[in-house]
Structures are given as structure tokens and as C-alpha cells.
Structure 1
Amino acid sequence: MQPDSKHFKIFKVLIWLTLAGCTLHFFDNVVFFDQYPEPAWLNAPIVAALWIPLALAAWRASSTVSGDYPDHVYTLIQGFVIGNWLSFGHYLFASPADVLPRINLIIAIQVTLATILFFYSLWMQLRFHRESMPYFTRIWAKLIAFYGVTIFTLEWFWPSDFQTWWL
């Protein structure tokens, strides 16, 4: 069974809404960088540059969603989703109670939209492209390894002041 145009349209709308939430957060983070709790190795130009791969993943997934390679689309979406969920990383450096309400709201918008996109894409994948599910577990393992190694390496060279407010 193949998804109809309604499913593709909803999928694309969710991708673009999530990118809008992502853009709002990145723009606010760059402009008001000093108001955000950040790791020692991050600065405003790097934040701005990190938006580019997320935007490219969203654009590419949206432009190929109805194509012949659904595993590629879902891989791009999973990368885009986990990239958006990394916004929770701000809370490694400050309690949500210590973060400005504006920032908490922007992070909530971004993460909520990414979560909705995640569940809709997972539903689409299970319903219409079940054969692409092996890619799902592999891409998550690769993404977690990539982000984990990258962050560990950056923290090794430029250690940050983590807060343990959650303990």
C-alpha cells in the first residue's frame, strides 16, 4: 500500500513546521547567545552553522518524500528529528527554572514539533514502507554514536560546566 497525496502533504507540512520551530530557536540562540546556557566549545557562529545541515536535511526529505527511496527520506527525517531534540542539551548547563521563559518556550515549540514529526514519520514508515524499518535502527545507532563521539571529543578538549540540577 502506498501513501496518498494527503499523507505526503501532511508529512511535508510537518517537516516545514518543524524547520520553522528549529529556525526560530537557532535565530534566537544566535541573536541572544549570551542568554542561553551553552557548552564551552560553542559560540554564535557555530550555532548558526549547525542550522545549515538541519535545514538541508528537511529540504531534501521534503523534496524526495514521494520518491522511490523511502529509506533515504526516513533517514533524513530521523537525523533532522534527533538534531532538533539536541536542544534539550541546554538543560545540561542550567535548570529549566534558571532559563528564561522565552527560551524554554522556544525549545518546547521546537521539540514538540520534532516529536510530532517523529511519530508521524514512524507511522508512515510502519504503515507504508515497512521494508525500510531495518534502516531505522541502524540510523539511530549511527546518529547516537556520531553525536556521542562528537560531543565527547569536544568536551575532552573544551570541558564545560555541567549542572547536576536533575540529581
Structure 2
Amino acid sequence: MSFRKQGLPNISFIQHVQNEKYVYFAGSYDRFSNLGFSNDSFPICGTILFITDSLPILTSLYVVVIPALVLISVLTFKRFKLSGFENIVAGVLLVLPGMVLDTFIIQFFEHIFPNMAPNSATTFGSWLMWAYSIVLLTSIVVGLRKNS
């Protein structure tokens, strides 16, 4: 079930703050769809990736996301030449839209991801919180390091 099929408008994650110095999470639902990250394709991939019975797969999912998100976060901060406290604000603004949307996605998990087992919702939610925590911690570490 995709947003497009429900007739909802495209979800834009572009936010401009303070003279457009910050551009966070630039993209739209159409761009994610073109990359294959839509609600049509993720349920299929999710059944493969979020195998809650396999400890090695779950462990690798939690470990692989660390360097990936640290790299993406740091490159984003450098790309927009953010300094000190701006990195912390950027980290919050990077994860906030996703956290708000994921609140509803986890609540209606069975309807949004019908191909995934309902008991995978807790693992999926835990992995999302882990990913958000990594981005937030990266922004704090980078922001505090640039202040000193």
C-alpha cells in the first residue's frame, strides 16, 4: 500500500532554516520511489532483511548502520559547512521528520508492511530508534568537538 495509491500528496522533507543555510533531508516521496525505497518495495525487502529469528542477520543490521549513518551525517554537516551548535540542530532536524512519521508507521505496521510478519514491528521500531540515536549522537559529538 503506497501513499500514491491512497491519493495522498507527495511527502517533502525539505526544510529551509535561517536564510536557507540548512537544507535537511532533501528529497521527496517520488525521489525515494525512483530509488526503490517506496512503500511498494520495502515490504518485499523487509521480509528478507528483518528476519527476527536470525541473530547474525539482526546483529549485522545493527552494526552496518553505524558507519553508514555516521558517514552520511558527517558528509551532510561538511556539505553545508555547519559549525558547532549548528551540527546538533542539524542532527535533530534530520531525524525529527522520520521519527514523527515512524510513530504512525509502527502503529499501523501490519497495514503499511503487509508482507512482513506483525511480530517484526518491534524489531523494526528498535532498529529505527537505533538509527536515529546514531545520527543524534554523531551530531552531538561533531558539534561539541567543533566548539572546543
TM-score (norm 1): 0.35
Which has the larger helix fraction?
1
TM-score (norm 2): 0.38
Relative CO higher for 1 or 2, CA cutoff 8 Å, sep ≥ 6? 1
